[in-house]
């Protein structure tokens, strides 16, 4: 599946930067292009400057709201982020249209952190603009949930998250959820933590995007998962995860092709082990039985993947996600591991979202006057500067 990736705000742009890295990795390792277009859009000029892999030109790094923010962000006011996205969203659409390979893409993936200002406010606005402009292309959102300390110490972050999620869910074909708190390493520095979290969030998409795009025959699976399978699966709230089982590192030449009965049993069980790891590392905590659709991709050396492994994996997933319509396939990609990419979609119950909706509702009731005043100040600011000429 080829995606046109759009990152919004500081968090969204940095995760989009990791998708640009994954595209370079796919071209190098598998001769496949999976994200031919990656665009970063932000109201903060410094954040755009700090990106590493997205092309450094005005059509790939879009600065929004320069006249109002002077390139210094919106200060966690997501209403202002939404307003600027409405005014400058056309810059993103023009950047997409000018890309030579735009019409090769199968869908959009719009990324934003839900706790801040720019990403939270602009995420539903840009998704809606894309849906209205490109009727036949699915538009997916990747919404990044706040850290636990933000949820309990910064009430505004919870309000931003709840309003952004509700608005995005109404317009997107599917909303991938990524909970920052699930990826925190307690003993790592802040910079290393953020870099690692962004990498971990994007890694499960790698095999998913590569599986149907490889051109080398040795990487084409017996049951290929392509864009059609993925589009048919993605709907509503969605979680994604990846699990890995390591293969034996070394075998003597005379052991190749000869397997003991104990080795055969372990071999069949490896797929189920990787599936358990994928469920444990889903991007958001949820009950698999709450999903109506599921898809898995099994990646590993072609000689190590067999029908016994597929049967064990399918049986295990059928028990775990008993209410889901399940699709799946294989992808001969990895050399030393069995990887299972699992996507649970059309989820009906996500405790973290329900908790934040309740918390945000209380905040809105307690700060109703303050929120209305913020809206008024934003409108006044817009009216005052309307007649000013642009440089």
Give the chain's length: 391
* pLDDT (tens digit per residue) in 72-83: 778 888 999 999
- 44-48, 240-244, 254-258, 273-277: the lowest-pLDDT one: 254-258
Q: What is the mean pLDDT of the chain?
A: 87
Q: Is residue 222 part of a domain?
A: no
Instruction: Find the domain containing 110 and state its range.
Output: 3-202+353-384
Q: What percent of the chain is predicted at pLDDT more than 70?
A: 86
Q: What is the pLDDT of residue 264?
A: 59
Q: What is the pLDDT of residue 267?
A: 67
pLDDT at 253 over 60: no
Judgement on whether residues 371 and 317 belong to the same structural domain of the protein: no
Q: What is the pLDDT of residue 357?
A: 92
Judgement on whether residues 339 and 368 belong to the same structural domain of the protein: no
Q: Is residue 180 part of a domain?
A: yes
Q: What is the pLDDT of residue 337?
A: 86
Specify the pTM: 0.88
* pLDDT (tens digit per residue) in 195-225: 889 999 999 999 999 988 877 777 777 788 8
Q: Is residue 324 part of a domain?
A: yes
Give the Cα separation of 360 and 353 in Å (integer): 10
Judgement on whether residues 182 and 44 belong to the same structural domain of the protein: yes
Q: What percent of the chain is predicted at pLDDT more than 90?
A: 57
Judgement on whether residues 248 and 285 belong to the same structural domain of the protein: yes
Query: What is the strand order of the sheet 61-63 is part of?
Result: 61-63, 37-42, 3-8, 107-113, 139-145, 174-179, 236-246, 337-345, 293-299, 325-331
- Report phi then psi at 6, rounded to 5: -130, 120
Q: Is residue 223 part of a domain?
A: no
pLDDT at 120 over 70: yes
Judgement on whether residues 115 and 172 belong to the same structural domain of the protein: yes
> CA separation (Å) from 214 to 217, 275, 333?
8, 24, 10
Neighbours of 126 (CB within 10 A): 29
pLDDT at 355 over 60: yes
Judgement on whether residues 42 and 174 belong to the same structural domain of the protein: yes
Judgement on whether residues 131 and 77 belong to the same structural domain of the protein: yes
Domain count, the chain: 2
Q: What is the pLDDT of residue 388?
A: 62
Question: Could you give the 3-state DSSP secondary structure of residue 143?
Answer: strand
CATH value at residue 29: 3.40.50.1440
Give the Cα separation of 381 and 196 in Å (integer): 39
Q: What is the pLDDT of residue 102?
A: 92
Q: What is the pLDDT of residue 347?
A: 96
Q: Is residue 193 part of a domain?
A: yes
Q: What is the pLDDT of residue 151?
A: 79
- 96-110, 154-168, 267-281: the lowest-pLDDT one: 267-281
Judgement on whether residues 73 and 133 belong to the same structural domain of the protein: yes
Q: Tell me how far apart the 2 most distant CA atoms of the chain are, in Å.
A: 82
The C-alpha R_g of the chain, in whole angstroms, comes to 22
Judgement on whether residues 21 and 64 belong to the same structural domain of the protein: yes
Judgement on whether residues 117 and 187 belong to the same structural domain of the protein: yes
Q: What is the pLDDT of residue 375?
A: 64
Q: What is the pLDDT of residue 365?
A: 80
Please state the rounded mean pLDDT for residues 168-180.
96
Please state the rounded mean pLDDT for residues 95-122.
94
* pLDDT (tens digit per residue) in 290-341: 999 999 999 988 888 888 888 888 889 999 999 999 999 888 876 788 899 9
Per the CB < 8 A criterion, the answer to whether 76 and 156 are in contact is yes
Judgement on whether residues 179 and 292 belong to the same structural domain of the protein: no
Q: Is residue 68 part of a domain?
A: yes
Please state the rounded mean pLDDT for residues 127-145.
96
CATH value at residue 253: 3.30.1330.20
Neighbours of 226 (CB within 10 A): 14
Judgement on whether residues 360 and 328 belong to the same structural domain of the protein: no
Q: Is residue 186 part of a domain?
A: yes
pLDDT at 385 over 70: no
CA 17, 21, 24, 30 torsion: positive or negative?
A: negative
Q: Is residue 389 part of a domain?
A: no
Confidence label for 242 from pLDDT (cuts 50, 70 and 90):
very high
Confidence label for 374 from pLDDT (cuts 50, 70 and 90):
low
């Amino acid at each position: 599946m080829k995606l046109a990736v759009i990152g919004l705000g500081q968090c969204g742009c940095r995760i989009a930067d990791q998708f640009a890295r994954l595209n370079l990795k796919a071209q190098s390792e598998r001769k496949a292009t999976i994200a031919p277009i990656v665009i970063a859009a932000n109201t903060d000029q410094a954040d755009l400057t700090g990106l590493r892999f997205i092309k450094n030109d005005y059509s790939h790094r879009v600065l929004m709201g320069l006249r109002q923010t002077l390139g210094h962000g919106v200060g966690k006011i997501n209403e202002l982020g939404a307003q600027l996205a409405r005014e400058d969203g056309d810059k993103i659409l023009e950047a997409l249209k000018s890309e030579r390979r735009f019409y090769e893409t199968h869908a959009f993936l719009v990324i934003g952190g839900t706790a801040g200002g720019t990403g939270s406010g602009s995420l539903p606005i840009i998704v809606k603009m894309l849906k209205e402009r490109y009727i036949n292309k699915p538009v997916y959102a990747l919404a990044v949930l706040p850290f636990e300390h933000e949820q309990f110490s910064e009430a505004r972050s919870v309000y931003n998250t709840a309003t952004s999620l509700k608005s995005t869910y109404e317009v997107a074909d599917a909303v991938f959820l990524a909970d920052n708190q699930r990826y925190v390493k307690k003993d790592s520095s802040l910079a290393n933590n953020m870099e690692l979290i962004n990498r971990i969030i994007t890694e499960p998409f790698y095999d998913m995007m590569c599986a149907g795009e490889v051109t080398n025959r040795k990487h084409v699976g017996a049951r290929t998962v392509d864009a059609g399978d993925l589009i048919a699966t993605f709907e509503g709230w969605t979680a994604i995860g990846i699990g890995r089982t390591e293969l034996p590192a070394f075998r003597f030449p005379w052991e190749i092709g000869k397997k003991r009965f104990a080795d055969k049993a372990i071999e069949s069980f490896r797929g189920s082990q990787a599936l358990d790891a994928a469920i444990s590392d889903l991007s958001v905590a949820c009950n698999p039985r709450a999903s109506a659709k599921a898809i898995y991709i099994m990646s590993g050396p072609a000689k190590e993947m067999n029908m016994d492994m597929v049967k064990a994996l399918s049986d295990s997933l059928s028990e775990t996600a008993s209410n889901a319509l399940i699709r799946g396939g294989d992808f001969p990609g990895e050399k030393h591991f069995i990887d299972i990419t699992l996507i649970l979609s059309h989820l009906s119950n996500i405790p973290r979202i329900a908790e934040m909706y309740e918390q945000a509702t209380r905040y809105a009731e307690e700060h109703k006057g303050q929120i209305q005043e913020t809206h008024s100040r934003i409108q006044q600011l817009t009216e005052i500067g309307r007649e000013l000429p642009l440089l």
